[in-house]
Amino acid sequence: MTPRFFDIHAHVWDPAFNEDRNAVIARMQEKGVASIMIGTDFKSSQDSAMMASFTDEGIFASIGVHPIDDIEARFLVPLFDQLTEGKRVVAVGECGLDYSRLDEVSDVVLEKERQRKLFEMQIDFALAHNLPLMLHVRDSDKALADAHHDILAILREKKKEAGENLRGNVHFFSQTFAIAREYLVLGFTISFTGVITFSREYDEVIRLTPLDSIMTEPDSPYVAPAPYRGNRNEPVYVEEVVKKLAEIRGEDFETVRAATVQNALRVFNIVV
Ligand SMILES: [Zn+2]
């Protein structure tokens, strides 16, 4: 069945859902919300893959290692190889570069190098398994766009050999249209969270990006959209993100809803 909404980035394995995880999933199913569970290390990747395997439909998994959630976390290829054999594993990540906490490390050059290697391993893994990437990219400063510039340079280099096989989505997009355009040229999409319901910072990039390159995610359990701000976030709130996208773009809700679902099905190669 074609989902009514597609939340492309959720962490429902998070302890924030320990009390009522089944009820959260039941609400998703009732509302027709499909969701991709995102791993940030091996354990949560395994949890994501399990959730996808044990649910009838509507739950998918992305497996990978986050750049800074746990700096000890490794991307051990044979272990992740096994996870790709599970049902509905549709992406690799969240992976990427995060420069938002470089002021806390003793050697910035080494830390950037560590992140770059971890990321490149996952790009190669995604290519070997013909899966799209779920990118996590945070700059040290928006004006510098340093993490984005570094990621784009890596992707451009990889693109030369990999061609169309190299693809994916930039999750929690937090940059300008000038940066978005660089990803679009490479065939990547961008996704927006509940932040767009209470900050006007992204209105321009939302208006300028073609509708076929936009996806939606509330990023549960973090940053709930208005009117749920301050509460724990959950996948069904994706509807608020769709509403706001439509409002900002001046398009009707139904057009934006249907397009964001189709985009997710296309990018993550999901047949319904
Ligand atoms: Zn995430």
AA identity, residue 94: E
For residue 122, the model assigns a pLDDT of 98
* pLDDT, tens only, 29-76: 999 999 999 999 999 999 999 999 998 789 999 999 999 999 999 999
Could you give the number of structural domains in the chain? 1
- Cα of 40 to ligand 1 centre, how many Å? 7
- Cα of 136 to ligand 1 centre, how many Å? 7
The CATH number of the domain where 124 resides is what? 3.20.20.140
Q: Residue 187 and residue 270: Cα distance in Å, rounded?
A: 18
Q: Which domain holds residue 112?
A: 5-267
Is 272 inside a domain boundary? Answer: no
pLDDT at 205 over 80: yes
Question: The tokens of 267 are what?
Answer: 């990018």
Is 18 inside a domain boundary? Answer: yes
- CA-CA-CA-CA dihedral for 115, 120, 123, 125, to nearest 10: -110
Contact present, 106 and 68 (Cβ < 8 Å): no
- Cα of 241 to ligand 1 centre, how many Å? 16
Contact present, 173 and 191 (Cβ < 8 Å): yes
- Cα of 135 to ligand 1 centre, how many Å? 9
For residue 272, the model assigns a pLDDT of 87
**What's the whole-model pTM score?**
0.96
* pLDDT, tens only, 192-203: 999 999 999 999
Distance, CA of 128 to chain centre: 20
